[in-house]
Chains A and B, each alone.
Chain A
Amino acid sequence: MSKGTPAQKQSDVLQGTLDLMVLKTLEAMGPQHGYGIARRIEQLSRDVLRLNEGTVYTSLLRLQQQGWIASTWGVSENNRKAKFYSITNRGRKQLVNETENWERIAGVIARLLQLAPGGDA
């Protein structure tokens, strides 16, 4: 019922970003469980990005549904059963696309932000 509210749309943007980060992490570090991915993002963002680690799983579910990552069961560092995720070939392709996309948008935004206010009047 609450689908399509403005708040949701903002977090959609964030979700997209998170998906990209998860994909990139899996590509760079090989198979990881959810905890490992959360640690890696935490480490790289140097506490700039604070996130509920649960949202990593939302992202994992979504990526898995699209067929961009696959999962197998393994054993974690503290000897618990854990699910390990790895990037698929389709995921790699998607990552390339998304990276290009991101860079293009980031470039546009950067240029936009550099414009002096009222500079062309």
Chain B
Amino acid sequence: MIARLSAFVAKVRGLLAGREADREFDQELEAHISLLSDRYVREGMTPDEARHAARRQFGNVTSLKETRTEMGTFVPLRTLGQDLRYGARLLRKSPGWTFVAVLTLALGIGANTAIFSLVQAVLLTPLPYPAPDRLVVPCTVFKRLATDRGPVAYADIMDWKAERGLFEAVATYYSRSVDITDGAEPERVQSLRVDDEYFAVMGSSPLLGRFFTPQDNLAGGARVVVLSHRLWTRRFGSDPQVIGRRVEIVGVPTTIIGVARPDAIWPADTELVRPLGSGGQPDPSWMRRDNHAFAALARLRPGVSIERAQAKLTVMAAAIAERDANRAETGWKLHALDAFIVGPSLRQTLWVLLGATLLVLVIACVNVANLLLARGIARQREVAVRAALGAGRRRIAAQFFVESALLSMMGGVAGVFVGYWGLKLLVHFAPPDVARIEQAQIDMRVLAFSVGLCLVTTVLAGLAPAFYAARVAPVQAFQGASRTLSGNPRSGRLRGLLVVCELALAIVLLTGAGLLVRSASRLGSVDPGVARGGLLTMEVSLPQARYATDPQVADGFDRLTAAIRGVPGVVDASATSSLPIGGGGEYLGRVFLWDGQPEPPASADTQAYWSVSQPGYFGAMGIPILEGRAFTSRDAATSAPVIIISRAMAKAMFPNGSPLGRRIRSWRDENVYREIVGVAGDVRTDSLAGGFSNNVYVPHTQDSWRTLTLVVRTRLDPTTVMALVRHAILTVDRKLAVARVQTMEQVMDSNMAALRSSSSLLVIFSLTALALAAIGTYGIVAYSVTQRTREIGIRMALGALRIQVVSLVVQKALRLAAVGLACGCVAALASTRVLESLLFGVKATDAGAFVAAAVILLGVVVAAACIPAFRASRIDPVTSLRCE
């Protein structure tokens, strides 16, 4: 081993030493010969004789020098240099071909690397918490709402905490946004209220100070807070003396007792953590099994699988359902934390994208193979010449290997750039709520894999001519040169098959993209139930410290909206507890009974979203009042309780006759009879894709909430009045934080972001695939035209019309396209089902998308075939016959 290594070093040195070393060796040999001849002179020869004898005795100097040269360098290295120069010259000679081949490789490598790097960051990298695979999120399954991610009841959490065999720790928490109101700039941040097991679940220790003790968690305990590392850095300048300082949270002075490490808190956007106050004797309402107001996070014991824990919980939930009729349609579901963060639809989108890029990679490989095969066969004559001149099979193979490797290296380098740039593009196009997307970076293993795959393809395809050379004797190749090769049925079929694959793959991607684009346009034209433009929204919270009573809160909001109405450019302003289309706020689900109806289970109840609004809300939002009236300032705290219901709610509860004047109650919560004074138009509450839900509205004077979203209707572009509106708010109360500022259009856009981003990405991919398929078709047709130049010449000499020649050539492409289309449609039918959950208003088998994809593909194929076809039609019969 060492000997081999030192031989290698010597060779490298020999390579570097060059001429100087050659001269020294010559000198050495000269010296030897002269010593020999000196000796012969001493023995009595004449100098001339001695010199001859010495040379004879020494032997062949030239062959010795040759031996040395061979030993001193790498022979393959010298020929490698030749091959590289020759290969580079060939690539330069046909820049168009080279560009297309390199581009094809770069797209395949780059797209695949970028997407996979994204998947890696979002799906495959473990969460940054200790033993993250043991973190689980217990949720309530509400069968009627078709969700398994519902909030949980405190009494349920108590049951789980008792399961010490399953869980190491179970934490209760809820998250709220709160205002930090001291300092120069009031700021709204995400905060958590947690019980004392929370940090045990997260498995982290404080960076500074301490975390919560059971004493901290007692109801009415001291007001203390733990800062996130981010907030500590941003707002407190990483001050190590911060422990013991006070910070005003929602107007209440609170003592800082600890600072968490980076990545020690989940949900990751949390800035403040405060005790829940659940210790001791909790509020009786908390213990009600139907009070689903909390979230939970648990850590499994080591060795306990999530399936085992789930099985136990399912049994427990069934027992509760048997005892408690209210719980009949609920269950419990344990989500692994990583699966909870990246929900099933995003997960699916990412896999779809990954699948799409794998297709592009395959297409790229097929294309390059095709390009190389076509060119390789065209070069058979060159190979024959080389073989005839004495080049060995291995030597020819080495030459083609070097050429292909050169090509794939260029493709690889370009692919790295495409991948880097593509990843940036992806992060840009991605919907805004993808967790950890900002951590995505080029994954070296994938890059290596993609480059490797392209390299193998290129080299295998590139070596094809050398294999042909091995099979065909030079004489045969010369004799047959152009005639037999054009008709080589095996290679022709192979290349045809490759192009058919490309076309089929392009159809699959095109259909998928078509379905998503149609979905996006359907979704974009859905009636949201509210005005789209000219609406600015922002969240404001009035703190208990300065707005103690309900009338004070209601009055506070009235003063705020009055001030905003005075801003130039503002038409109207109002406030609501929840924005439509998932725009933010509290989506409170409640169940309703008619006047005089007995409580369940004796009769059924009707579910609806409960929201609180100021007078003027319907006008400002552009929600029509279909019957009755909107709220007015006369709907006061002391006047008769009123309610406005949505049309869907009216249909559900009062299918016959007008609901006006009838009374309903939210029987489990408020239990107050409210008179229906109006019926409002339907709005989409959760999302544009969701149907119309049942909604009820009550005046904010009769149910005062501290946190409301202000809605501001403007005459101008809403963003232009933003600063003035904020100023108006601060003139009412300079300690208010204004949060979640967004226009209604932004709300709708972000609601569509997932679909938009996956559809635009799939469009990009399918266009790439289409371009690659076009290149492939062009390549094969152009090649066959070159091969059939003589035949076409003869046909034209015999009187064939140009149009006949064109159709002859295009027909070949169309035959391929027909086969590709048929295969592609079958594959697309099978694979677009994957997209089903992303689609809106379109079936996965939508004929329109399939027809559109087919038409586009056929058009591109014809266009790609026409270029060489017209070239063929201009062939001059005389030249074409002579050139052979």
Contacts and interface: CB of A to CB of B under 8 A. Distances in A.
Interface of A: 33-35, 38, 52-55, 57-58, 61-62, 64-68, 76-78, 80-83, 90
Contacts of B61: 54
Contact of A65 (B7, B32, B60): B7
Contacts of A58: 64, 67-68
B6 interface: yes
A79 to B, nearest CB: 10
Interface in B784-826: none
Among B6, B31, B61, max chain A CB count under 10 A is at B31
Nearest to A42: B57
Interface string B34-69: 111010000000000000000001111100100110
Contact of B6 (A61, A67, A83): A67
Contacts of B162: none
B60 A52 contact: yes
A81 B27 contact: yes
B71 interface: yes
Given A54-B60, A57-B64, A67-B3, A78 B35 contact: yes
Given A61-B71, A65-B71, A78-B38, A52 B31 contact: no
Contacts of B72: 61
B473 to A, nearest CB: 20
Nearest to A34: B32
B29 interface: yes
A52 B58 contact: yes
B21 to A, nearest CB: 11
Contacts of A83: 24, 28
Contacts of B7: 65-67
Contacts of B36: 35, 53
Nearest to B24: A83
6 contacts: A52-B58, A53-B59, A57-B64, A57-B68, A58-B67, A82-B31
B10 A65 contact: yes
A61 B60 CA distance: 16
Contacts of B444: none
Given A52-B58, A65-B6, A90-B2, A80 B64 contact: no
Given A34-B28, A53-B58, A57-B29, A77 B3 contact: no
Contacts of A34: 28, 32
Contacts of A67: 2-3, 6-7, 10
A38 B10 CA distance: 24
Given A61-B71, A65-B10, A66-B7, A53 B32 contact: yes
A53 B58 CA distance: 4
Given A35-B36, A55-B59, A66 B6 contact: yes
Contacts of B60: 52, 54
Interface in B204-231: none
Nearest to B63: A54
A14 to B, nearest CB: 14
Given A54-B29, A65-B10, 19 more contacts: A34-B28, A52-B57, A53-B32, A54-B59, A54-B61, A55-B59, A57-B32, A57-B64, A58-B64, A61-B72, A62-B71, A65-B11, A67-B2, A67-B3, A68-B3, A76-B35, A78-B35, A80-B34, A82-B28
A37 to B, nearest CB: 10
A54 B64 CA distance: 7
Given A52-B58, A58-B67, A62-B71, A80 B35 contact: yes
A61 to B, nearest CB: 6
Contacts of A62: 71
A54 B60 CA distance: 7
A77 to B, nearest CB: 7
A16 B59 CA distance: 19
Contacts of A52: 57-60
A58 B2 CA distance: 21
Given A54-B59, A64-B10, A66-B7, A76 B31 contact: yes
* Interface hub of B3, B34, B58, B71 (most chain A Cβ within 10 A): B58
A53 B11 CA distance: 24
Interface string B16-31: 0000000010011101
Q: Which 6 A-B pairs have the closest CB atoms?
A: A52-B59, A67-B6, A54-B59, A65-B10, A35-B35, A80-B31
Nearest to B35: A35
Contacts of B68: 57-58, 61
Contacts of B38: 78
B783 to A, nearest CB: 36
Nearest to A58: B67
